[in-house]
Amino acid sequence: MQRCSSTNTLLLEDKGGGCVLLAAEAQSAGRGRRGRRWHSAPGAGLTFSLARRVRRPLRELAGLSLVAGVAVSRALRGLGVARAALKWPNDIVVGGAKLGGILVETRPENGSIRAVIGVGINCRRDSALALRLGRKIGFLDQYIPIERNLILKTIAQTLLDALHTFEAHGLEPLRREWEGMDAHAGQRLRVRLAGGRMVSGIASGLTGDGSLRLTTRQGVRAVSSGRVVSSRSA
């Protein structure tokens, strides 16, 4: 598709069912986590959504962004981005620079759950984007030749494989893989919780449900909803 509002929105509204992949050259209302806008100039990035019915208990679906992160990072490493890593809960990073993001949304469908997994990846260097966002941004063309159809095909297949593993075995095998790709493992983090309060601790992997495990002065704490705002060596 050349242009649309949001690939996630279109697939959430689609009543056709089945497994659907929708990619767009540009989105006028692309979204990131917590409603943040996803910025991507036409031809500069790769933006797509995959919609699929997921057969796991509702309480486990919060882990889907982690499942998708493992799949995207695994695919990018296979394509040659050797340092592709994960920032909890839904960012793809390389050397501290944000390379991409994931947005998972769900809706009920005939007694089960339809998951829509949106992926956005920066492909071609855009210095204006980093200036506008005021943060380090990574681009795929710093690491590999850009063949967007190949990249899309590889990520989509890896994502389907990861979803199959999740349906068969739950989050556990993918949780261990996520921890092996954790960009902040062993670092001291400051995390802004959903209510705005800050908490600090050493990144110590994930809990069984995908929450971030922090080792604090008061003991181990599980953070289920929040945003990492800073990190440093412990």
Is the pTM of the predicted complex or chain greater than 0.75?
yes
Is 98 annotated as catalytic?
yes
Residues 17-57 pLDDT 10s: 789 999 988 777 666 555 566 656 677 789 999 999 999 99
Residues 89-123 pLDDT 10s: 999 999 989 999 999 999 988 878 999 999 999 99
Are 101 and 33 within 8 A, CB to CB? yes
Average pLDDT score over residue span 174-181: 97
Among candidate residues 15, 34, 217, 232, the one labeled active-site is: 232
Give the position of tokens 């006028």: 28
Residue 83: the pLDDT is 96
Residue 128: the pLDDT is 76
| Concatenated DSSP letters of 192-208 | EETTS-EEEEEEEEE-T
> Please, which pLDDT band fits residue 221 given cuts at 50, 70 and 90?
very high
Phi, psi for residue 110 in degrees, rounded to 5: 50, 50
- The closest of 174, 168, 160 to 18, measured between CA atoms, is 160
Among candidate residues 53, 77, 98, 221, the one labeled active-site is: 98
Residue 29: the pLDDT is 66
Residue 171: the pLDDT is 97
Among candidate residues 33, 53, 125, 192, the one labeled active-site is: 33
> Domains in the chain, start-ordered, CATH in brackets?
3-180 (3.30.930.10), 187-233 (2.30.30.100)
